[in-house]
Amino acid sequence: MKTLYDICLTHIATNLNAINRVGSFLAPVHKETLIERLGYHDMFTPEYLPLITYNLFSAQLKRITFKRCVGVTDAVLRQLGLCGCKLHYLTIDRCKSVTDIGIEAVTKGQNELQCLELQKLASMTWLGLRQVQSDELTKVDISGCLGLTTQGLQMFLSRNKNIKHLVLATCTKLCDSAIICVAESLQKQLEILDVADIHMVGDDSLVALADHCPNITTLNIQGWNKVTETGMSKVGEQCGRLRSLDLSYCSRLQSCPGRPVSAVSARHTAGTQSVRGAAAG
C-alpha cells in the first residue's frame, strides 16, 4: 500500500505541466526525490525536460541520484550544473547516454562535494574527472568505469587529497602504478579500499599500501592473482588497523600469512570466505 507521501509525489511528478509553479512550493529534499524518481522512470524526455528543469532544478539541491536512467544525457547534466546547486552527494550509475562532457559539466565548481559515485559508465574516460575538486570529498566510487587510466587517476587524486573511502573495482586498465599512486597520494587518510578484479597488479601494490596507508581498515583485492605471501605479509606487518580483508580468487596465495588473517575481523568464522577462496583458487 502506498503512503500518502508517495501518492502526492507521484501526482506531482506526472503533473508538472498542470500545477502552476509547483517548484516554488517544494522543499529541496522533495525536489531531489522527484528528480531521482523521474529519472528512474525514464521521464527525462525532450518534451518533459523543460518542466523538470524549471520546477525542480534549483540552487538548493544537495543530493542527486541517477541510476539506470536512459533519458539522463549530457544535456541534462549540463542543465543541472547551470542551476547553481552546490551538491554534497552525486551518484550517476549505469546511465548509458552520459559521457565525459556531461560529467565535466555537472562537477565543475562543486567544491562542497562529499561523495561522488560514477559507476559503470561505459563512455566515461579519465577526462570526465578533470573538473572534480573538493576538499570535502571523502568517498569516491568509480567502479566499472573501463576508460579510467592511471594518468587520469593520478590527476584526480592530486586535487582530492582527503578521500577515505575509494572504490576502483573492475577498472581493468589500471596497473601497479595506479595503486602505488593511490597509496602515495592518500596515505594516512585512506581507510577503505576496494580494488577488486584489477588483474594487472601484484606485490608492488601491496607493499606501497603497507608503506603509506597504515590506517586501512577494509581492503578488497579479490581477483589479484599475481599477489603472493610476500606482499600479504607486508600488509599484515604494517596495517595494524585492518579488520576486513577479501582475498577471493587470489590464486597464488597457497597459504595465508598469519598476521593479516589474525588481524582482520572476518565476515565468516574460522578465517574468511575470501581467504578460503584464495587457497582454493
Domain layout of the chain by residue ranges = 81-280
Q: What is the mean pLDDT of the chain?
A: 90
Handedness of CA 172, 174, 180, 183 (dihedral sign): negative
pLDDT at position 254, please? 63
Contact 210, 234 (CB under 8 A): yes
Q: Beta strand 218-220 with 244-246: parallel, antiparallel or unpaired?
A: parallel
pLDDT at position 259, please? 45
Share of the chain above pLDDT 90, in %: 88
Arithmetic mean of pLDDT, 91-108: 97
- The cell numbers describing 5, all together, are 507521501
Q: pTM (2 decimals)? A: 0.90
Starting from the edge strand earliest in sequence, which strands make up the sheet with 115-119, in order? 63-67, 89-93, 115-119, 139-141, 165-167, 192-194, 218-220, 244-246
- The cell numbers describing 94, all together, are 549505469
For domain 81-280, the CATH class is alpha beta
pLDDT digits (tens, 9 = 90+) for 36-77: 999 999 999 999 999 999 999 999 999 999 999 999 999 999
Share of the chain above pLDDT 70, in %: 90
